[in-house]
Amino acid sequence: MEIKNNTIIIKNLESFNIKQILECGQIFRFYQQGDKYCVFSLDKTCEVTTFADRVEIYSSDIDYFVNFFDLTRNYETIKKELINLPYMQDAINFGGGIRILNQNNFEMIISFIISSNNRIPRIKAIIERLCAKLGKNCGNYYAFPTLKQLSVADEAFFTEIGAGYRAKYLYQTCKKLIEGFDINVVNEMTGEQANKYLQNLCGVGSKVADCILLFGYHKADVFPVDTWIKKVYQQYFINSTDTKQMRANLIGTYKNLSGYAQQYLFYFKRELKE
């Protein structure tokens, strides 16, 4: 990786594929424009362009996006450790350019409450309306609203932006955060403790908690079990419907690299649907 002016240049394309990174289920605020991707996080944005020999990330906040794209972590090491574990060979061959983004914990909490029992295009649309209504105008896009900006929203507001029956979850959770529920103590917890702790928020069950922990706190000892992971598990492991057992067995299998394994498996299964 090198940095020139307002551009990060990445030459190791083996562990950086922007399509894979954006489409493995961890982020909702991005779109493709011709040969480049526009990506948004809080009030920041960047443009990612892939060339034959390099990727360029253009932004006025270079430091933010070095961390955001997790560029100081060695994914070769992670893949080498995982490749010998069950079903990782095909998944890593297919999606070896995946990285786990370092996203903002508050943005992840709100976004993944919206994600529950929902599909990606609709999740993206709800979040866009949320930003447009309450977020700072940053010129050609809107920032993700701050907690303070969200404090004016009532349940009807969340219904208006199309959140459906999640409206009351969002309202309740914002209220709890405004009242001082601490989302930073999670950093000091194990995945297991943090999963329980986040379930104190309305609309956050075990799966949503794991997504928040993996994408908002980079906790890799969790395993979000969604419908695609259930398919993987039933096909390759045991034909069971017990989600808790699946999660425990998968974490038992992939240990402290569970979060990475989940992303490789999710992307592999969701893209191939086989």
Residues that bind DNA (CB under 7 A): 116-119, 121-122, 162, 164-165, 169, 199, 201-209, 226-227, 230, 273
User: What is the separation of C-alpha 89 from the centre of its chain, rounded to a whole number of angstroms?
Assistant: 23
Residue 207 appears among annotated catalytic residues: yes
Q: Which is nearer to DNA, 121 or 139 (CB)?
A: 121
| 131 touches 41 (CB < 8 A) | no
3-class state of residue 174 by DSSP:
helix
Residue 211 and residue 26: Cα distance in Å, rounded? 8
How would you classify residue 3: left for phi > 0, otherwise alpha for psi between -120 and 50, otherwise beta? beta
Shortest CB 114 distance to DNA, Å = 10
Q: In terms of CB distance, is 73 or 122 closer to DNA?
A: 122
Q: How far is the CB of 163 from DNA (least distance, A)?
A: 8
- Of 64 and 157, nearer to DNA (C-beta) is 157
Beta carbons of 107 and 173 less than 8 angstroms apart? no
Q: Encoding tokens for residue 192?
A: 């297991």
In angstroms, the Cα distances linking 26 to 87, 111, 259 are 21, 10, 11
**Which DSSP category does 143 fall into?**
P
Contact 221, 42 (CB under 8 A): no
The Cα–Cα gap between 127 and 133 comes to 10
> 79, 207, 219, 269: which is the annotated catalytic residue?
207
* Shortest Å, Cβ 211 to DNA: 8
Judged by beta carbon, residue 71 or residue 229, the one nearer DNA is: 229
CB of 118 to DNA, least distance (A): 5
Catalytic residue positions?
207
